[in-house]
Structure formats: C-alpha cells, structure tokens
Chains A and B, each alone.
Chain A
Amino acid sequence: MKKNIITKYKTLLTALFVFAAIAGCKEEFLDPEPLSFYTPDNALNDADGMYALLSGAHRRLRAEWYGDGAPIITENIFSEVAVEGTTDKSGPAQDLNLLITPDANLNSADRNRIGWFWNEFYENIKLANTVVTRLDNAEYESEEERNAVLGTAFFHRAYAYYRLTQQFGDVPLLLEELTTPKLDFVSTARLTILDKMKDDLEYAAQWVPAEVAVGEVSKGAVNHLLAKVNLARADFDGAIAAANAVINGPYALMTERFGVDKDDPSKNVIWDLHRPENKSFNTEGILMSVSRLEFDGNGSATSTSAMRQAVPLWWRFINTPDGFNGMSDNPNAEIPHVLAYGRGIGRNRGVPYSTIDIWKDDDNDLRHAPGNWVDMEDITYNAPSLKDNGSTYYDKPLELKNASGVVLCSDTIRNWYGWPQYKLFIPDPTASKPSGGHSDWYIFRLAETYLLRAEAYFWKAELGSAADDINMVRSRAQAANVVAGDVNIDLILDERARELYYEEPRNTELTRIAFIFAMTGKAAYNGKTYSMNDFHQNNFWYDRIMETTNFYNKGVFTIHGDEYTMSPYHALYPVPASSINGNTQGVINQNLGYPGSENNIPPATTLPEGS
C-alpha cells in the first residue's frame, strides 16, 4: 500500500514533467518550413533567381499567341484586318458599341481579351519591378551581369508599358515592388510613361548582351522595342537609330530555302519561314517564344489553336450546288480536309481588306500564292454522304452560288473566307481533329524592324529610304518593288498586314500611328488632320477602319441578329471597371467615351515619388 502511494506520486511527478515539457514548447516549434516552394529569402539572392523572375515575364508575354480565344485575336478585331466571326450567339465582340464596356466580361475566349492584356501586362510589371527593387539584395559575378539583369527587367517593363499606353492611353505607372497594400493609384500621362521607358531601354541597350539563347531577351530585342517606343513618342530619329542598331546587328532576312521542307519543290521560302520547326533556327527572329509538344507541362506554352481560331468554319453549312450537305470534318473521311486545314471555327474572321484587297495589285507575291494561301474555292466537297446521295460534286471545288445565284453557304461571315495557310497550319498530333498544335512563335522579327524604320523615314519625309526598307521585305516575297512616290501610311499599313498578319499586335500599332497623327498634326493620306484634344471622337484609327471595313457600321448583322458596330472612342480599350473600383483611395482614369470617365482627374505628368 505504501509502495503504491509512492508509485502514485512518482506518476504525478512524471505527469508534471511531461506537462512542463509540452508547455515549455520552444518558439522554433512553430516556425513554418517551406518545403516545395521558394520564398524571396531563399530564391532571389543571385542572378539565377532574378533571371527566373524575368523568364516568368517572358512566359507570360508569349501567351498572347496561344490557346482558345488567343489575345492576338482581340488585337486583330480592333483593327482593319479581322472581325469576330462566331456568329451564332451574343457575347462575342461584334456590336462593340453595345458590348465593350468597363463592366462587361473583358477576359473570355467567347468575348474578348481586353482584360487579359490589362492583367498580364501588370503582372509582368510586377515581375520586373520585383527585380528592380531587389536588384542589389542579390549577388552577381560582375557588374556587367548585374546591369544585364536590370536591363532585361527594364525591357519587360517597357514592353508592358509600350503595349498598355497604346491600348489604354494613360495608365497607372508603377516602378517599384509593392510590399504593402496600396489603393491610391492614379493614371500617369502616356508620354510621361513612354519617356521613362525610353530612358530605361537606352540603359538596357548598353548592357543586355547581343548574343543570347533563343527565347531570351537580346540587345536586338531591346532596340526593336526602343524603335517602337520612339515612334510612339514621335521621336523619329530615335526610332531610326534604334532600328539601325537591330538591322546592323546579327540578323538578316531569310531569302533562301531552308529547314524541314527545304527540299520540297512545291514550297518556298515564305512557307519555310513559318514552319514550327524552322522559326527558331533562322537569322530573322529577334524575340522568340519557344514552345514544343514534347515539353508540354514542362515549360511549353499550350497549343496555338491557330487553325481553330482563324480558319473558317468550312466543315458545316456549305451545300453542293445540287443541294446536299457538302462538308465533313471526319478525320477518317476519304478526303480528310480536317487534317490539312484544322477544325476552324472562324473566330478570327479575316475581312476582305486583309484577304482580298491588299493582294489585288500583285499576283507574284508569295505570301498570297496558291499553297501558301487558301481560298474557299481551293478546297473540295468532301462529305462521305455525297457518294450515297449520288451527288456529282464529290471532290469538286467549292462554289459559293448555284446556277440560279442562290448562295449555298448559310453564313458567309463565318464559313467563307480565305486564309494564310503558311502561317496558320500547325500540325496537331494529339488532337483527332486538329486545332493548331504546339509551335514556336515570332514576337519580334526583322521584317518588322524594316517596316518600323520605313515608317520612321516616312514621318521624316525621307520617302526613298522608306521605299528601300519596304522593298527589302517585298522582294523577299517576290513582290514588285514600290517607289518613293508610293510611300504613305496606307502603303505601310498594307505591307504590315501582308507580312505580319496574326503576328503583329495590329490594334496596338494602328493606335500608335493614330497617336502620331494626333501628336504631330501631319495630314493623313485621307486628307484629314488630327489632334490630341478630341482623340476619342476623331482619330485616324477609326477613319482607317471605316475606310477599309465591310463590316463595322455597314449594317451587317450576324445570323444571330447582332450588328457589327464601332465608334471612334474604341481606339482605346476601356479600363476594366474592377480595377477602377478596387482602387478606392485614388482615381484610375477611364477612357473618354466609356461610362465612368466623368470621374477622371488630370493624369500625373511626373514620375511616382521615390523612383
């Protein structure tokens, strides 16, 4: 019994000891252990960490050309080269007067990607600013390495602001990493931003190496962007100087056959230039996106979906002249068109301007040559049921009308137009009905540098030099030369549309030109002059589209009953309402013409404090 009591007390003592052990838990016990992710502390302390942030920025900016409803389509439909062609529902950006509002869904494959640009470019500004702010917390092998990191960050920030200032005009300017919540942003004037970006790019051009891996930012890319920024600032000498630096660098237009189909006599250099396997292995690419199926989930972008987006919906609603359904997208059909053209849905509907008008003057242009270019009449009726029905039109070329003039295609908007097969045809081995597979893509290409320099010469009225640059691009495509007297903005825009369709951000570049007209007051070829004072009501962007379009404001309705409309204020996109509403302690300006612009305050014209 006595022993028992002692045991009891022993146990009580043990209990108290255990209590004390647990109660005296060290603070370290509650320290978090990040296991599978990085924090700034363990990742951003050397050049590799900094470059990883910048590779992240590269990854984001390439996404413009990939996936369903790729953002490049929004750039095209807000210009004269294409319209939204999904005609069977309301929602796609067709009736712009009705649908393009700050409160609308601005980031959806079925609607538009305005909000995507806003979000992604500001994400990249965050990435670049993280590098800028933390730059000297990291260690480098040399001063050159440090400066190259900073220069690359400046490139990504300037790329984002170049696009934002053409797409949205005055926007908030952030130059440093944010570490605490901030809700008092204001918009900064477009030119103030562009001037700062020019300074940054000039710094970057000194330090970013000329020779880099494909898929990284080179000195050439910096100068190409600087040429654009200087054009946007109406600094034409600066633009020429920057373009010279690119053209005199390690680049050259591809003029000879090369790459995977080199030995196929039915093809040509234009075809070669745009083969997925060839894009990264030539002297023309300046800034590249590298994307490969075998690296899917391992660094590759998603598939391009280019055929699905930009090829017409040819596999339905097209009848033979003898009155039967003519088309099939069956990949196992005897004539498997779907493998050659993809299962297009006509979202990015090329318009007569870009598919017919700009090609009229030159039959030799390789960019519109049969094989490279496909018109509807180039393909044949392939529905297997035609053989059962006894139709005589099986495997005969498509016809738009029958003998009595009845249109045989029930929706000519979505189902009937031509397209540049050499650009859009991307094999898609993982899809039974191809959409457009994985592929590298050109972000900056030397042909555009020539056209940028041509434009700068034009603004300076050095038309001969401008014609020379344009002819560099034209002669490679075996198109006839132009002469100095031909050169005007109309010609330059036409040439850009011929060379850079589904490649250049067309709306950005067209608005940039509209801004130059408004800033300089130079008369346009249409006889008009423009001013910054009434830009949202009267601008070259709108007049150019009205001059060329067969859709907007022409009383054209989709089969769903939606009308194609557009207004001058659409030259600038609406700032997403969520961004303005979330900024409760400041005013981010809305562009004039959109609801909410009545709350605007004058934009800042100085750089934010501390920058």
Chain B
Amino acid sequence: MRTNFTEKVHDFLTKLRRLFALTLGLMFLSLTSFAQDLDISGKVTSVEGEALPGVNIMIKGTTTGAITDIDGNYTMNIPDGSSLIFSYVGYKTQEILVGNQSIIDVSLEADISSLDEVIVVGYGTVKKKDLTGAVGQIDASQIAHQSPNSITDVLRANVPGLNVGFNNSPKGVSQMEIRGKTTLNAGAQPLIVLDGTIFNGDLSDINPQDIDKVDVMKDASSAAIYGSRGSNGVILITTKRGTSEKPTIGLSTMFGFATKAFDNPPYDPQGYADWRTDVFNSINYGVDDKPGYFNRPNELPDGVSLEDWLAYDGATGDPTTAWLNRIGFQDVEIGNYLANKSVDWYDKIFQTGFRSDVNLSLSGQKSGLKYYWSIGHTSNEGIIVGDKFETIRTRLNLDAKVTDWLNVGVNTQFAVRDEGSVPAEWNMYYQDSPWGSELSDDETTLRYSPQDDSGAGARHPFLRRTYTDRDRKFNTLNARMYAQVSLPLGFSYEFAFTNRYEWNYYFNHQSSVSPEWATGTAFRENSQVQEWQIENILKWDKTFGDHTFNATFLAYAEKYQGRFLHSRNSLFSPNDKLGFYNLSLGTAPVLSGDPDGDEGFRGDQTSTGDALMARINYSFRSKYLFSASVRRDGYSAFGPENKRATFPSISGAWVISDEGFYGINAIDFLKVRASWGENGNRNIGRYAYLSTLTANKNLIIQNGSVTPVATLDPATMENAELKWERTKAINFGLDFSIKEGIVEGSLDIYNMITNDLLVSRALPDVTGYTNVLSNLGEIQNNGFELAVKSRNITNTNFAWSSIVNFSLNRNKINSLYGDLDENGEELDDVTNQWFIGHAIDELWGQRVLGIWQSDQAEQADRYGVVPGDFQILDKNDDGVFTQDDNEFLGFAKPRFRWTFVNNFNFWQHFDLSVELYSMWGMNRAFNEAKNRSGFIDRTNSIMTPYWTAENPSNEWARLFSSEGSASYNVYRENSFIRLQNVTLSYTIPIAALEKIKIQSLRIYGNIRNAAVWAPDWEIWDPEASEIDGISGTGPTPRYFTLGLNLTL
C-alpha cells in the first residue's frame, strides 16, 4: 500500500512538474505590453519640498509602474481612468485618481509609524496594526551594513524573547531559543520558515545579504499555523524581491579582521619555571622533609647550603639542571632553558584573521516579472591559525504574473560550503611548555610533544593541522516552486513544491608521517539528503462592508530521505601516501558506518509527515480583530496509535484608540491583544518509538581464521504509546504608538504549559537501559517582554532614536512521572537533576563555602583535604559527601535580558549605531578556580591566582588542589553587558553621485563584540557557553570591518 501511495504521489508530482514547465514557458511568451492611452508626468517631493528619487509609482490593480529619477521626476503612459499609487520607504503611501490631468505633482508625507508594515504570519501576511498575536519583526536590510556574519547575527538582540547564543567559529551560526525552554529532551530550536516553506537545512546556507525581513512568532496562536513544530516558536525569513522598474545592481562588499576579544596569556618562560616550582611545592604538601627541595638554587631557605640541597637527591654538577629536573622539566626543556631558547605558543596559535565578503545582486521588475538574483562569496578566517570558513551562495527569486489570474514563481538558493579547515589546537597554548622544541630531533618533522610529554596532553598545536589532509564540502540546493491562481468569489489557490538536496562529502587522511600516528588512517564519508514538501493552499478573501473575512486552508505532505556512507581504512601497504584517494590499499577496512568512531553510526533514515490546517481571520473596520485556526499534524516517529494530533488556537485584538469614546490624545494608537493556542513538538529521533537493536561485531576464530560475527544489543525500549509533546500558551499583549510614532512599543506577558513531555525517563540501571523515551510531566514558562522604539530627537542635522528591549522568563517543572513518595509528594528525578517546583536550569550540587585556610588544617583533615583546598558544605555533618549534602545553587540561565540600541544621524549623511545587550543573574561553572585542570605538573597553564600560605585567597585554591570525597563545581556569576556593535556609516549625497550614474553609495566601518563588562567573570568570554548545552569555552573574536554598499 505504501509503495502504491508513494507512486501515486510521484506520478502526480511528475505531472505537476510538467504543468509547471509549461506554465513557465507560457509566462515568457506572455510578456507583452498593455494598451496605453495617456501620457503623464510629474515630480514627487517631500512635504518639505525636497525631491524624492526612486519613488515607486504603480498603476492600481496592475504590476505596471515607474520610478522617479534623481530629481524626483517621472513620466509614464497609463490607461484611461487609472489610479496611481505612490510608495516610498519611510513615507506614507498615496493613491491618486488620474482623471484627465497630464501633470501630477505629489508631495509625500513622512511616515514614522511602523504600524503599516507588513508582517508575514505564515501562509499569508497582515499589517502590523492588524496583528492579533505576538510577533517581532526585523528589517534586515536596515542592518545589512552591520556586517552580519550569519542569519543569527541579524537576529541577536533585535527581538525581545528571542535568545541567540554566541558562536566564536568563523562559520558563526548560533543556537536560538524563543522564550523559555518548553521541553526536557526534545529539541528546543525554533522552526525556520524560509519564503513560506519549512527550512531544515543549515542556516549558514542563507546569505544574510539576501534577507529582506525576518518575523519571529512567539505566541501559540501565531505559531499554531505551523502547529507540528511551533512550540519552540517560528522564525520566518523573507528574502528580497525585485521592486523597481529599472534594473538595479547592488554591490555590497566588506573586509575586515578578527582579533581576540579577551587576553588570557599563559606563563611566560621564566614565570613558567617559577610557577612550576610552586606547583611542586603544593603537590608535595605535608611530605616535604627537605626544605627548599624545589626552590631555585639561588633562592634557598635560610640554613640550607647548596651542598645540602644538592645532596637531597644525590645531584651533582649544575644546580640549575638539578632544580629543573626536580620540578619535572623534561630533558628537552632543560636543554632549551640552559640555551635560553623559548617558544611563544600563544603568539603562534592566535592570529588576526582576515575576512572578506562580496555580494552582487541584480533585481527589478518588468511587465509583471519580478526578479532578484544574487551571488556572494564569503571567506572568514578565525582568530586561531587555520580556522576558516568559506562559502559561495547564490539565489534566484522569480515571480511572474502570467495572466491576471496566474502567478508562478520560484525561490532557489544554492550554496557550497567548505568546512574542511583543520585549525591549530588552540588549547595547547597553555599546555605546551615555552621551553619545548618545535621540531623533532630530525629537525624537519614537527615534534609530537614540544616537551616530550604527549601523555600529559601536550601536543604540538600544528601537528594535526599539518599532518591531516581534509576535504569537506557541503553542496545544498533549496528550491520552492509555486503557482498561484486567482479564482472567482474571492478564492485563490496556491500550489507549492519545495525540494531540498544536500550532497556532502568528508574525506580525511591522517598521515603516518605524523609522530602522533604510527600508521596512517583515511576515511571517506558521503551523505545525501533529499527532502520534499508539498503545500496546497486555498485562500478566501472577502469584504462585506465593514466586515473583512480571510480564510486559509492548507493540505501538506513531506518526506525526508537521508543516505550515509562511511568507509575507513588503515595499515596501508606499501604506504599511505595516496591518503583517502585510494582506500583499498589499506588492510583494516571498515565499511558502512563507524560504530566505534567519534561520529557514531549514522545509517540511512526516512521520515514522513503530513498536515491539514484551516484558519479564519475576521476584522470589523480594522478595530475588532479575530483569528482562529486548527491544524492536524502527523509524523512517522510517533507510536502507531498516536501519529497524529490536533492543535487549535484562537486570538483577538481590539484597537481601543479607534473607539469614539477614546480620549487619550497623546497615545494615538492603542491595541490590546489576547491569544490562546496549542502547539506540538516532534524534535526527536526519526525512529523514536521503536526498540532499536544496535548492531556491532565480535570476533571468533573458526577453523583457524579470525571471523567477525554479528552482535545485537537492544539500545532502547519500545514505547508504542509515544505521542506529540504539547504546549498550551496564553499571551496578553498591548501595542501602542504615541504622537504618531514618536514612541512605539509593545508589551507581552505569557504563560506556557507543556504537557506530555518527550522525556528520556531515567530507569534504574539494573534494567540494562538508562532511560526510555516517554510522554510525561508538565513544565511551565511565564514571562514578560517589552519592546519600545523612540525618536528622541529629529532635527535636520541631528537625529537620535533608540530601541529598548527587555525580557525575562521563569521556568518551573510542575510534574515529572507522577511517582509519589510515602507522604504523597511527587518524586524528583535526581538522576537527571530535575526537581518538582524548580526550574530546569536550576543548579544543584555541593556548595562551595570558600577555601580552607592555614589555621583550619585540623577541620580540613576530617575531609581528607588540606589548607588551600575548597571547603564544601557538609550539611549533615557526617564527614562524607553524598547527595544529602546537595543544595540549589542558583540558575544557569539569565534571570533577565535587555538590549539597548541607539541610532544617531549627523548632518543627514552620517549614521552611528551603538548596540548593547546584557544577560543578568546566571551562573556558570568556573572550575579554573580549582587550579587543577589537566596535568599541571607537566604542562604550562593560563595565568590565574592561586592560594599559598603566604598569599591566601578565598576564591582560588592551591595549585593541584584536592577534592577529597566531594564532587562539585565552583560556580561564578557570569552576568555581563556586551557592546555588541558600533557602526559608523556615511551615505554619499545623491548630488555627488548623479554624474556617475550611481543611485546610492554608502561606506561604513564597524566593530562587532567591541567590549564586554562582566564583573564576576575572569577567564575568556562570560557568554561562551551556548544556549542549548553546546559548550564553547575559550577565546571569542572581535571583528573590525570596513564595507561599502553600492546601488546602480
């Protein structure tokens, strides 16, 4: 049956594709001109009398139009009885009935209110003032000159409630989360919708320069349109379209540099030797009966002669050599120390990365054909030597009005990404000895370990970079083709087919030349993804007097197919010089998957989904607004009886300021909104409900030869009941505008309750399973968001506007598995550290009280530690540390966040933008304070303070401190304020450009991640930890960019 249906769908699709091709052909034939009857001309100016170039003039009801020239003049030929629509960004649109005038001069009124902006709401658009849900919008083209590295840079700090993580890689795509975390184990990433269709590809394949607008749906009723996956919110990205009659060529180019935003150097060569002396003194605490044993020979304690000191271990000869030997210097280090040959690894590993970005676009519209084509090349180097990301992206958007009832179009993007860089291992800078050697004794090969101590983790930072040959590319094509048909009685129908293809390869060879790998290993990995989506959208738009109706119906289906192959070989004969180009030369082949490898086994996968949706909007004089929707979704990963679920929503708004009784003059627009809705989450494995048997192999010897035999291991318990996770959300909002948009804003409060959580319920490990995926429990999120825009000063030669966003979210686990204790209280899941009545991100563990000081040696001894070690709260005073000593220790996520953006305009042509954002009140593990990471008796270290009897501290432990029986994290508050962006731009006056036929030209310079203030955080970036658990500690970059935007 399945095959039968699939065949039908394919058959149908084939037919549709043919139809589509035909339609496209027809479209080009039908680019004929209209009959025109009247020549008119005129000039468009602002109210102040300034000529406006580039104003769009359309004949109402057609796609024919013109634009004004540099002096604001236009001429056109129009049919008799036409109306003209004059529109220009930043000005109110005007409609003029031509009659029999032949000269029409128009003055346009500046529009400082954003209420008429069009918001994309999923399968449709509405004006901002008609919105009933909580939606935030970003006009990406307005911040294109802030040199965004990726779509996530566009989004960061621009919408309250949308939290964007920080990513320090040259690729720069971060994790995102809308409002609070509504799930325990399922994915919490928002759904991305690109030009109307769900986008499951890599965000870096979307060129930020192609983005026109981004709309962020935060409440349930808005997101319910995408019910299946809307519970984490929805981000709708709209790319650019052709607008002007005249073909427009846009060139945007920028180049810049990435540098370290923080400086945390290691010990310098002499400092390293002194510090190491302290390390050895600290390690040998309490067993030292040889005073000054580890001291520099010229710094011996009183009463110890050099002879006595040497005799401690029978040393003879050079005292410096004896000392260095005692503090664990390897022979190579001693040799270099005596020869005074040191290496500055910090300087070698970090670089000033060069970045460049060139984008070219061609757009316009002609006789019903709107076109936008772009191509761009981005090359970003990171701050670590060898860290690089490169991509070429191209986009073609076409929309053709074939007849007055048929529109066809295509949105296509193709991208090639190179992610094959092998960066230096940055964390070697504090592990490699400054007295190490760079080369092996053969003076050509890199030294495996500069200090000959690879066992301590100290490798040459360029070793893997030098001896790895890697080719890793991603080719992705995402295309949406659509046809829109106008039907009678206000109906219209749209059919869209979206295809996403990925062809990726990852070839890697670790050369046997490397002293690290005695044998060469090579692998080839190929993966392909093909995913299709079909949308059928039927719309009905009708106005009866003051009553406006708008209905949308959707039928949808999707299929994902992923194919994956990994082949590996090693022990090459006669040698591995052909690397991954000829795997067959190895003698230990592994085919199809890599069960023991880092990547894990990734097999082929398929999943399917479908949906039906209906929505109705009703508006009475744009004053009373009402919207309701219902969506039924199906997904193949759920249990047989629970594949489908229904998600309803309802919302309404009331524009109070339109009422007769409304009398607040200062607030000229005031709207209240309320919404309720349910959304689902399906971000789980594609085969989540099934019991999967992990296949592997074991060896036996049969008839004298070694033979692999199959092994199977039930990895997961089946759960045929598995169903959708559901979030019910309620949102109250208020939109206001004061003095025609001088101050504008919105306020939202919400409550979200998630039930049937997709949770990996912990099982007692005696079952042989650690957990089972179940639908259990309840989580609640409450929050508050405020967004205010204001125009503080608007003089001709100085203007200042600002945007303030504020948000906070409170999260709480209401229920887990429903298991009760003897008192009838629900039990926590201690294994996963989930506690009823507490937030998911609440930290729980043993509390650090401070450092045991010298006079507390006796108390410390009870816990098997000594002064200089951390003192941990022993709640029940039983002398040992168990779970009974744990306490709640604060929160891992910010208690609140704010953004403050200021835009200044000087003498009309200079713009300065200053953007700050802040997260406050969260904690992060700061185990650097333990002074015991790795093997500090064998490696270097980042310079940090440490406790000694002479220089006691209550925050930093002694070197190589002990923990006794405790296991704990030292938490520090990592609240911060970041000066995220400072941009200064200059727009060349039009008069100066006229002669060289340039429409507009803007040059700018900007600094991203300009500064951070974090009062309690000391090493690297306070925010380096990603939002959804992907940790990214370490150095973060600061970018300096110069750029130019040119329009021809």
By a beta-carbon cutoff of 8 Å, the part of chain A in contact with chain B is 4-5, 8-9, 11-12, 15, 18-19, 21-23, 25-40, 43-44, 48-49, 51-53, 55-56, 58-59, 88-91, 95, 98-99, 101-105, 118-119, 122-127, 130, 171-172, 174, 178-183, 185, 213-216, 280-281, 290-300, 302, 316-317, 319, 321-325, 328-330, 332, 343, 345, 383-385, 389, 402, 404, 406-408, 410, 429-433, 557, 559-562, 576-579, 581-585, 588, 595-596
The smallest beta-carbon distance between B767 and chain A, in angstroms, is 5
What are the residues of chain A within 8 A of B557 when measuring CB–CB? 22, 25, 29
Name the one of A180, A213, A302 contacting B701, with C-beta atoms under 8 angstroms: A213
Q: Give chain B interface residues in 336-371, CB to chain A under 8 Å.
A: none
Name the one of A118, A122, A430 contacting B519, with C-beta atoms under 8 angstroms: A430
Does the CB pair A101–B882 fall under 8 Å?
yes
Does the CB pair A323–B317 fall under 8 Å?
yes
Given A11-B485, A32-B636, A595-B880: A582 and B764 within 8 A (CB)?
yes
Name the one of B2, B699, B772 contacting A31, with C-beta atoms under 8 angstroms: B2
Given A179-B717, A280-B701, A588-B764: A55 and B12 within 8 A (CB)?
no
Does the CB pair A295–B317 fall under 8 Å?
no
What are the residues of chain A within 8 A of B590 when measuring CB–CB? 296-298
1/0 contact string of B297-334 vs chain A (CB within 8 Å): 00000000000001111111100011001101011001
Q: List 23 A-B contacts (CB under 8 A).
A: A28-B2, A30-B609, A31-B636, A35-B605, A35-B606, A38-B693, A40-B693, A44-B693, A130-B714, A181-B772, A185-B766, A214-B701, A295-B708, A302-B596, A322-B316, A408-B313, A410-B313, A561-B283, A562-B962, A582-B762, A582-B764, A584-B827, A588-B764
What are the residues of chain B within 8 A of A171 when measuring CB–CB? 766
Does the CB pair B711–A561 fall under 8 Å?
no
B48-56, B216-224, B244-252, B448-456 - interface stretch: B448-456
Given A297-B597, A299-B698: A5 and B488 within 8 A (CB)?
yes
For the complex, give the distance between the alpha carbons of A330 and B455 in Å.
12
For the complex, give the distance between the alpha carbons of A295 and B335 in Å.
42
Q: Is B649 an interface residue (CB 8 A)?
A: no
Does the CB pair B831–A35 fall under 8 Å?
no
* Chain A residue nearest to B827 in the complex (CB): A584
B256-264, B377-385, B414-422, B684-692 - interface stretch: B684-692
For the complex, give the distance between the alpha carbons of A171 and B766 in Å.
9
The smallest beta-carbon distance between A604 and chain B, in angstroms, is 14
Name the one of B312, B491, B710 contacting A406, with C-beta atoms under 8 angstroms: B312
Does the CB pair A29–B5 fall under 8 Å?
yes
What are the residues of chain A within 8 A of B405 when measuring CB–CB? 4, 8
For the complex, give the distance between the alpha carbons of A185 and B766 in Å.
9
For the complex, give the distance between the alpha carbons of A361 and B709 in Å.
46
Does the CB pair A126–B767 fall under 8 Å?
yes
What are the residues of chain B within 8 A of A32 when measuring CB–CB? 606-607, 636-637, 686-687, 689-690
Given A52-B712, A58-B698: A174 and B766 within 8 A (CB)?
yes
Does the CB pair B536–A39 fall under 8 Å?
no
Does the CB pair A183–B882 fall under 8 Å?
no
Name the one of A8, A325, A429 contacting B518, with C-beta atoms under 8 angstroms: A429
Most B CB within 10 A of own CB, among A9, A290, A293: A290
Name the one of A37, A99, A408 contacting B314, with C-beta atoms under 8 angstroms: A408
* Chain A residue nearest to B405 in the complex (CB): A8
Does the CB pair B314–A323 fall under 8 Å?
yes
For the complex, give the distance between the alpha carbons of A298 and B643 in Å.
37
B26-34, B184-192, B963-971, B1003-1011 - interface stretch: B963-971
Name the one of B452, B555, B634, B695 contacting A38, with C-beta atoms under 8 angstroms: B695
What are the residues of chain A within 8 A of B689 when measuring CB–CB? 32
Does the CB pair B314–A321 fall under 8 Å?
yes
For the complex, give the distance between the alpha carbons of A241 and B265 in Å.
70
For the complex, give the distance between the alpha carbons of A355 and B763 in Å.
44
What are the residues of chain A within 8 A of B5 when measuring CB–CB? 25-26, 28-29
Name the one of B604, B700, B706, B761 contacting A181, with C-beta atoms under 8 angstroms: B761
* Chain A residue nearest to B699 in the complex (CB): A290
Other than A26-B5, A30-B608, A35-B606, give 14 A-B pairs with Cβ distance below 8 A: A23-B612, A29-B557, A35-B603, A39-B693, A53-B711, A122-B768, A126-B767, A295-B699, A321-B314, A325-B325, A325-B334, A332-B440, A578-B830, A582-B763
Name the one of B286, B454, B711 contacting A557, with C-beta atoms under 8 angstroms: B286
Given A23-B612, A56-B698, A103-B883: A588 and B1 within 8 A (CB)?
no
The smallest beta-carbon distance between B446 and chain A, in angstroms, is 13
Q: Give chain B interface residues in 408-463, CB to chain A under 8 Å.
A: 440-441, 448, 452, 454-455
The smallest beta-carbon distance between A341 and chain B, in angstroms, is 14
The smallest beta-carbon distance between B219 and chain A, in angstroms, is 28
What are the residues of chain A within 8 A of B710 when measuring CB–CB? 48, 52, 55
For the complex, give the distance between the alpha carbons of A323 and B310 in Å.
9
Does the CB pair A595–B882 fall under 8 Å?
yes
Name the one of A15, A39, A321, A322 contacting B690, with C-beta atoms under 8 angstroms: A39
Q: Is B932 an interface residue (CB 8 A)?
A: yes
Name the one of A52, A185, A389, A431 contacting B317, with C-beta atoms under 8 angstroms: A389
Q: Is B696 an interface residue (CB 8 A)?
A: yes
For the complex, give the distance between the alpha carbons of A302 and B699 in Å.
12
Given A37-B687, A323-B317, A406-B313: A293 and B571 within 8 A (CB)?
yes
For the complex, give the distance between the alpha carbons of A561 and B707 in Å.
49
Name the one of B700, B718, B883 contacting A290, with C-beta atoms under 8 angstroms: B700
* Chain B residue nearest to A586 in the complex (CB): B764
The smallest beta-carbon distance between B803 and chain A, in angstroms, is 43
The smallest beta-carbon distance between A365 and chain B, in angstroms, is 31
For the complex, give the distance between the alpha carbons of A319 and B284 in Å.
18
Does the CB pair A595–B878 fall under 8 Å?
yes
Does the CB pair A293–B588 fall under 8 Å?
yes
Q: Is B235 an interface residue (CB 8 A)?
A: no
What are the residues of chain B within 8 A of A37 when measuring CB–CB? 603, 687, 692-695
Q: Give chain B interface residues in 1-34, CB to chain A under 8 Å.
A: 1-2, 5-6, 8, 12
Does the CB pair A12–B311 fall under 8 Å?
no
For the complex, give the distance between the alpha carbons of A383 and B452 in Å.
12
* Chain A residue nearest to B312 in the complex (CB): A406
What are the residues of chain B within 8 A of A345 when measuring CB–CB? 455
For the complex, give the distance between the alpha carbons of A185 and B768 in Å.
13
Does the CB pair A55–B709 fall under 8 Å?
yes
For the complex, give the distance between the alpha carbons of A410 and B555 in Å.
77
The smallest beta-carbon distance between B635 and chain A, in angstroms, is 7
* Chain B residue nearest to A5 in the complex (CB): B488
What 7 pairs across the A-B complex have the smallest Cβ distances?
A36-B603, A126-B768, A299-B697, A215-B700, A299-B708, A323-B315, A22-B555
Given A294-B571, A560-B962: A182 and B767 within 8 A (CB)?
yes
Does the CB pair A404–B709 fall under 8 Å?
no
Q: Is B842 an interface residue (CB 8 A)?
A: no
Does the CB pair A26–B1 fall under 8 Å?
yes
* Chain A residue nearest to B293 in the complex (CB): A410
What are the residues of chain A within 8 A of B330 when measuring CB–CB? 316
Q: Is B937 an interface residue (CB 8 A)?
A: yes
Does the CB pair A104–B311 fall under 8 Å?
no
Does the CB pair A559–B2 fall under 8 Å?
no
Q: Is B774 an interface residue (CB 8 A)?
A: yes
The smallest beta-carbon distance between A402 and chain B, in angstroms, is 4
Does the CB pair A332–B536 fall under 8 Å?
no
Does the CB pair A56–B696 fall under 8 Å?
yes
1/0 contact string of B461-498 vs chain A (CB within 8 Å): 00000000000000000000000011110010101000
1/0 contact string of B965-981 vs chain A (CB within 8 Å): 10100000000000000
Name the one of B700, B863, B882 contacting A103, with C-beta atoms under 8 angstroms: B882
The smallest beta-carbon distance between A164 and chain B, in angstroms, is 10
Does the CB pair A12–B593 fall under 8 Å?
no
What are the residues of chain B within 8 A of A88 when measuring CB–CB? 283, 935, 937, 960
Does the CB pair A172–B701 fall under 8 Å?
no
Does the CB pair B698–A55 fall under 8 Å?
yes
What are the residues of chain A within 8 A of B920 when measuring CB–CB? none
1/0 contact string of B937-964 vs chain A (CB within 8 Å): 1000000000000000000000010111
For the complex, give the distance between the alpha carbons of A300 and B707 in Å.
10
